[in-house]
């Protein structure tokens, strides 16, 4: 009988090591791209926890710029940012989705939670 070998080509969702792998990958992406995408690299390095993030910026323009740069940087590694939420309608409306299955969260801040905070 032949021995058949199997190899996992992707990291299994929900594995005990999944959070560590996600954080490692994001930190490496930020480190590798800090010269070309300084704003996005700093954002990913300092504001992500596993696959969620929270950030406050001073202006709507800053928010749009940060999200645009971060999306471009992440796209270089086939990662897609989605499920955004903003308390500024202009920022919220500026978000574009390449994949229509990525639903935009309705900005109802009274019920949204992030990292266990309302």
For the entire predicted model, the pTM comes to 0.74
* Range(s) of the domain holding residue 68: 18-94
Query: Residue 116 falls within a domain, yes or no?
Result: no
Does a structural domain hold residue 56?
yes
Domain total in the chain = 1
- Dihedral sign of CA atoms 7, 10, 15, 19 in order: positive
Distance CA 38, CA 19 (A): 24
Q: Dump pLDDT digits (tens) for 21-53.
A: 888 989 999 999 999 999 999 999 998 877 778
- Residue 13 within any structural domain of the chain: no
Q: Would residue 107 count as lying in a domain?
A: no
pLDDT tens string 76-118: 988 887 777 777 878 877 876 555 555 555 556 556 666 666 6
């Amino acid at each position: 009988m032949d021995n058949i070998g199997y190899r996992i080509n992707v990291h299994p969702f929900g594995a005990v090591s999944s959070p560590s792998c996600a954080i490692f990958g994001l930190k490496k992406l930020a480190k590798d791209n800090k010269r070309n995408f300084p704003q996005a690299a700093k954002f990913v390095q300092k504001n992500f926890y596993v696959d969620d993030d929270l950030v406050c910026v001073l202006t709507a323009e800053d928010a749009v710029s940060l999200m645009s740069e971060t999306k471009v940087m992440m796209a270089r590694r086939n990662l897609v940012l989605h499920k955004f939420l903003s308390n500024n309608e202009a920022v919220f409306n500026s978000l574009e989705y390449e994949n229509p299955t990525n639903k935009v969260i309705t900005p109802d801040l009274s019920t949204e939670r992030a990292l266990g905070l309302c």
